[in-house]
Structure 1
């Protein structure tokens, strides 16, 4: 049979990935990994040519976050692998299913001076991903790919790296037997007593609080159904926005990092944290602030092990818990919290946010009003995003993506490209700062090449303003925080993109609406001088 024919292993890998549901691969070919490209078109996979391996990695990340599928990238030995390590580190921090497959030299111990040579490429990659392994036979390559996809389905999603020696990629190999694919949709089991235990805790509480993180996104429909019968007040992490709808009156929002949110938690007599590490980048303080019982629900034992004292830990997926909880009866219809308390507190925190980084909150409000509610948004490390993450409630979970943990610059543009590839015909937008845009600006050419109608909101305050402010607070004379910027509008046009520089907020809104209907990306250049 044609699909059982011998092919070079590099080609067989692409066919195996196609059987796994992979439709898109991001990457850059080179002489070391060209055999991996032999099978891409034959397998019916689309390849997106990045301008830099860092861009390829961020595209795979953005694609995975938007589609819920595995983001796959092909890179070459040595510098190609090194260049994609930053996206791998970001994907590890943010629990993104990414599979990076690279070539590697056949041997390195006895020979020096080879093209793209590293002392230990496999070990280097392992520092930024879940695991990094070398496949020295076709059977090993198939087994490792199987292992990666099985773990993507059943464990916390994190990036994996497989490297294959060049001679193995070139050598003829039989395809993997389909009966050995080992496909799995995951194990969705829950202790039958878990939901009753949690519901009993809620019934006994007078001031319970939920904290929903990114790990609760898949459970959003069941969580919303539960909250309709039992209105527990809610905080979300930045990644958990949209799990609860903006109109939910008991929503404290994504203000966990406000220092005095600890005083709210101190008033609670029960806190249930679901799908969140409660990490530094969630809280920006050492402790949540509660003295009451803390219930942790997570699929990752490492996340569960991080709590001290008075903590109940349950290893379970959020959707398996709330699928049962929403069916519980006789749940309380009210608690000691009041809507006025929540509304007043949120208003105070919004005012604080506006005072800390003046002028951005009105722009966030205006931008939100201009975009469709189902827009997939990718943001970068920029003050505009720092404000938006607090004041911009999301209508849908998993629709705002940010380099939360690793905190890399240059993420938004290529990640948005990956997101747009994953959701053809649906709105995708990027928000990036002037300095971050420098990191991956070349990927604008990819968006033009693919004809992607992405509005790219470029916030130019002329400096690394967040770093300048931090230096000032630390009584350090601001240094190295200003870089000479190009004419971004002309730069975008040179790539073949559309570009605008609105002078008013109203014009910005119109430009954004037009950009979603365009036949290519539009760079929308805005500054703090934008007028009402």
Structure 2
């Protein structure tokens, strides 16, 4: 991309002063120009005295700034944007408390392999590590964040900026995507950067799998009578290749929560996301060859009951872009390090070239249908009632993206809902498992896909973590729909305590008037207690250009909606 020889800025009145020569750029201004070159569309952040020089070049750029009400909100917005687009969400964050406020969002993104670029300030180079008690000082900010980033780098010289940014975007595009943190000392942000090359370099492609490993995997799959596929979020960009391979093998497919939609709802080989439930676990144990692609095989997708009951008894083939992950949780018989899309495509081609695969006659679609029937019969009344809620959303808004929090209907949907397309269902109950994620993540998702309805599915406890982000959505004119499931406290924890014989303490919290609060923030607000009422309110909401909060009383919904 070519950049102009001058960089223009707008003053507070919106008028354009004389353009500044590119030779006069500071490091902070060069950063903005480089981000434009990488195609960044949004920056999420709250300006502070330590970051204002990062904003010097932002006003005249093509990048839109979105201001959350808390830095954690900035991180969750960036996360939601990244999950929908596959591109990194970008944040500008002040040193010290801004970064510690961001920590939870970064840890959630790290746990779920979400690309996020966090640019922060830090005290001047001569002040680093001195312990003088300066504003926002941490003993070592880099050390704090290196544990949940792909890397954390202190930019000690403005000339390093293009190389460090290139490293970050190489991670996002060709490695396991995770947050990257770049901190820039206050004196470096304003350092001259006039001679800097502002054209991003050519970035590497994703690594391709070893042909020998692919051949070994193809041989095992070709001879399998009961093959089965476990697919995770690492395969999100390979729905065509996954479907082709599954149909060629007639292999049942179980998806992690972040992989929902890789096989569309209603596909005869789709088991769902029920790896923690007994019927699916029995089917996995029956498989003679299991192909696990882009999945950690981790607890929050395979053992949410925490009983250690998930097991693979057949041969295991693993595909992952992260070679270390191939060695975690379950030992593979064939390990393939590389891009999921390439590996699945090559496996399908090799199997096509082999003799026709002959699975066991009662395997594939017949076995999936039997398992799904058993699963459906086993869902309890609350789960069935909550599935009416999700079905109503999708029946009314078929193209909806649902960004969820840690709340009861989300847990039900994680088991029982099958998405129609990838990147359409995600929530914070996997991996790190934080509260308050749903609302800001939905804002980021709506910015990423303005043409699609975006529904935040969140509980009353979780919403109170990030409630002020309603103001952010109003200010940014983001018409996300907030579907508030109100059980008047931390209902899931209350049930968990009761089940373990613990007298519930700390879970029956004060519940505010959410309708009054929503209107006070400038949102439309209403209630719904039946599928018919909910559908009507959703239809109204998608016609608005500002957020809508729809409150559902759990007890009323359960009383009125048949299981």
> Which bin holds the TM-score, normalised by the shorter protein?
over 0.9
Match of 1:249 among 248, 252, 268: 268
Identify the residue that residue 302 of structure 1 maps to in structure 2. Answer: 324
| 1:107-146 map, 5 Å | 107-110=127-130, 112-146=132-166
Question: Is 53-62 or 6-15 further displaced after alignment?
Answer: 6-15
In the alignment, does 2:37 pair up with 1:12? Answer: no
1:172 to 168, 174, 192: 192
Q: RMSD over aligned Cα, in angstroms?
A: 1.9
Q: 1:491 to 1:204 in 2, by over 3 A?
A: same
State whether residues 150 and 182 of structure 1, in contact with CA within 8 Å, keep that contact through their aligned partners in structure 2: no
Q: Distance in 2 between matches of 1:364 and 1:23?
A: 31
The structural deviation recorded for 1:12 is 1.4
Instruction: Kindly state the Cα deviation for residue 294 of structure 1 after the two structures are TM-superposed.
Output: 0.8
Cα pair distance change 1:175/1:350, threshold 3 Å: farther
- For 2:396 and 2:159, how far apart are their aligned partners in 1? 52
The worse-fitting range, judged by mean Cα deviation, of 111-120 and 474-483 is 111-120
Q: Distance in 1 between matches of 2:528 and 2:132?
A: 55
Distance 1:209 1:83 in 2: 42
Instruction: Tell me, yes or no, if structure 1 residue 2 matches structure 2 residue 6.
Output: yes
**Could you tell me how far 1:177 is from its partner in structure 2?**
1.2
Q: Which residue is equivalent to 2:534?
A: 508
CA distance in 2, matches of 1:57, 1:235: 30
2:443 match: secondary structure: helix
State the alpha-carbon separation in 1 of the partners of residues 206 and 330 from structure 2.
29
Give 1:525's aligned residue.
Answer: 551
After TM superposition, list the pairs within 5 Å mapping 1:277-316 onto structure 2: 277-284=296-303, 285-286=307-308, 288-309=310-331, 311-316=333-338
- Aligned-partner SS, 1:47: strand
Say if 1:25 and 1:71, in contact at 8 Å, map to a contact too. yes
- Structure 2 match to 1:153: 173
1 CA distance for matches of 2:309 and 2:204? 36
Aligned-pair distance for 1:19?
Answer: 1.1
Please give the alpha-carbon distance, in whole angstroms, between the structure 2 residues aligned to 1:111 and 1:243: 51
**Matching of residues 40-51 of structure 1 within 5 Å:** 40-51=58-69
Give 5+ residue unaligned stretches, structure 1.
Answer: none
User: Which residue does 1:222 correspond to in 2?
Assistant: 241
Per the alignment, residue 465 of structure 2 pairs with 439
Equivalent in 474, 477, 481 of residue 507 of structure 2:
481
Is this contact kept in 1: 2:206–2:338, CA < 8 A? no
Is the contact made by 1:246 and 1:394 (CA closer than 8 Å) also made in structure 2? yes
Change (3 A) 1:438 1:128: same
Structure 1 Cα separation of the partners of residues 92 and 408 of structure 2: 33
Structure 2 unmatched runs, 5+: 8-21
Q: For the Cα contact (< 8 Å) 2:478–2:545, is it kept in 1? A: yes
Deviation, structure 1 residue 262: 2.5
**What SS is found at the alignment partner of 2:257?**
coil
**Deviation digits for residues 424-474 of structure 1, max 9, x if unmatched?**
222211111100000111111111122222111100011211111211222
Matched, 1:23 2:37: no
Which of 2-11 and 68-77 deviates more? 2-11
Aligned-partner Cα distance in 2 for 1:255–1:159? 29
TM-score (norm 1): 0.95
Contact 2:228/2:287 (<8 A) preserved? yes
Q: Which residue of 2 aligns with 1:205?
A: 224
Cα distance in 1, alignment partners of residues 335 and 51 from structure 2: 45
Partner of 2:295: 276
Question: Which stretch has the larger CA shift, 15-24 or 324-333?
Answer: 324-333
CA distance 1:309–1:448, shift in 2 (3 Å):
closer
Is this contact kept in 1: 2:456–2:481, CA < 8 A? yes
Rounded to whole Å, the distance in 2 between the matches of 1:309 and 1:277 is 12
SS of 1:172's equivalent in the other structure is: coil
1:230 deviation in Å? Answer: 3.0
State the Cα distance separating 1:33 from its structure 2 match.
0.7
Output the TM-score relative to the length of structure 2: 0.90
